[in-house]
Amino acid sequence: MWLILTLGSAFFLGFYDILKKVSLRENAVWPVLFFGALTSTLIFIPLLILSEQGVLQAGDMVYVPRLTPREHWMVLLKTSIVLTSWVFNYFALKHLPLTIVAPIRATGPLWTLIGAIIIFGEQLSGLRWLGLLLTLFFFFRFSTVGKLEGLSFRNNKWMWFVIIGTLAGAVSGLYDKHILRQIDRVAVQAWFSFYQVILLLPILWFVRRKRAARDRFYWRWSIPLIGLFLVVADFLYFYALSEPESLISVVSALRRASVIVPFVFGALMFGEQNVKRKAIYLAGIMVGIVLLLLG
């Protein structure tokens, strides 16, 4: 059962990236980000109300427990970190090929592991060292592919955006290890969804007031699906982890395989360049990530 849940999570996570790319093509970034986040909030608001009114009880799968003021601040900090990652990744995804962005973002566990070594003093096995070096090698090989397409770290700021977004995502992963030990996962998801709209609303108002004429926004039905697919992907992921017989290393590895979905989509539907070379480097990254997770 947990394997099916994990594969389902990877499927929805893969299409979540595709929906972002489709929504962002020749479109304003901030409204897409806001309305995608708003969808997640609209999903969780009924759960918050039903939990507060006692319709949902402790022990129910989607029950949202109350948080202390300190826990609310912890979730707000998580929201700020995640939104930082999303902002950089959304801008990068708008301007760069999917077959570049998706593999670079797949290296997230590498940077999380490096952070864990520095912050928590984690020790690596030989297998993990091999995975780390392999992932780093193929990660830097992607810079050579980018140069073939006129994309380099020297002349393209969007390449730096995807790096910054990935690093911020790694920081979020480290913080999740801390926060989920103290706060119920459904409460984190629910209040995270609420706070992201609260944080994005004034930014959206300010940006649209200044740049509405320059950055046109076009409504697409793929936009609300961004939030829906992310909520489903995360729910299936947490559900899989809650199964007693589930193996977290296998779950994490399979979930990372979601990168294959947007990569194939970008190659087939958008006709992106140098697909064979990118596929080889992506395979190298995925092998490295699997070694990191299984080691």
Over residues 190-204, the pLDDT tens digits come to 999 999 999 999 999
> What distance lies between CA 234 and its chain's CA centroid?
10
Assign 37 to helix, strand or coil: helix
Cβ 260 vs Cβ 14: under 8 Å: yes
| Mean pLDDT of the 82-109 span | 84
Query: Which residue, 192, 182, 184, 169, is CA-closest to 43?
Result: 192
How far apart are alpha carbons 93 and 19 in whole angstroms?
Answer: 11
Residue 286: how many other CB atoms lie within 10 Å: 20
Looking at residue 57, its pLDDT comes to 83
Half-sphere exposure of 163 (CA within 13 A, CB side): 11
pLDDT tens column, 10-25: 889 888 888 998 999 8
Looking at residue 19, its pLDDT comes to 92
Query: Which residue, 10, 3, 12, 61, is CA-closest to 246?
Result: 3
| Mean pLDDT of the 59-76 span | 90
Looking at residue 216, its pLDDT comes to 85
How far apart are alpha carbons 252 and 25 in whole angstroms?
Answer: 30
Cβ 278 vs Cβ 263: under 8 Å: yes
Sequence spans of domains, the chain: 2-294
Per mean pLDDT, which range of 101-105, 217-221, 252-256, 282-286 is the poorest?
Answer: 252-256
The percentage of residues in the chain with a pLDDT greater than 70, rounded to a whole number, is 86
| Mean pLDDT of the 71-94 span | 93
Residue 210: how many other CB atoms lie within 10 Å: 10
145 pLDDT band, cuts 50/70/90, is low
272 pLDDT band, cuts 50/70/90, is low
> What distance lies between CA 161 and its chain's CA centroid?
14
With a CB cutoff of 8 Å and minimum separation 6, the contacts of 231 are 39, 40, 43, 44, 189, 193
Question: How many H-runs (helices) and E-runs (strands) does the chain carry?
Answer: 12, 0
How far apart are alpha carbons 155 and 104 in whole angstroms?
Answer: 18
Cβ 196 vs Cβ 41: under 8 Å: yes
Positive/negative CA dihedral, 148, 150, 154, 160:
negative
| Mean pLDDT of the 76-95 span | 92
How far apart are alpha carbons 8 and 21 in whole angstroms?
Answer: 20
Looking at residue 197, its pLDDT comes to 94
Assign 236 to helix, strand or coil: helix
Query: Which residue, 6, 4, 1, is CA-closest to 248?
Result: 6
